[in-house]
Amino acid sequence: MTLKEVNAGKTVTIARISGSGPVKRRVMDMGLTKGTVVTVRKIAPLGDPIELTVRGYELSIRKDEAAAIEVA
């Protein structure tokens, strides 16, 4: 399952980040690394962006970025 498929209000743990290059680096720089617990706070009406709580702060990411993050 990817972060894009998680419903609002659910808490998951990041299992793997796929992709490569600057997109993967950007996601990791935002604190989304393997083993991090993430709560999906809100999803915009059209699905983009997705608001998360990560390591005690709020973060919004795009749908295509969320699709590259596998969760457990």
Contacts of 67 (CB under 8 A, 6+ apart): 2, 3, 4
Task: Name the CATH code of domain 3-71 (choices 3.40.50.620, 2.30.30.90, 1.20.1260.10, 3.10.129.10).
Answer: 2.30.30.90
Give the model confidence (pLDDT) of 28-71 as tens digits.
Answer: 888 898 999 999 999 998 878 999 999 999 999 999 889 999 99
Question: Dihedral angle at the C-alpha atoms of 18, 15, 61, 42, nearest 10 degrees?
Answer: 150
Residue 19 has pLDDT above 90, yes or no: no
pTM for the whole structure: 0.84
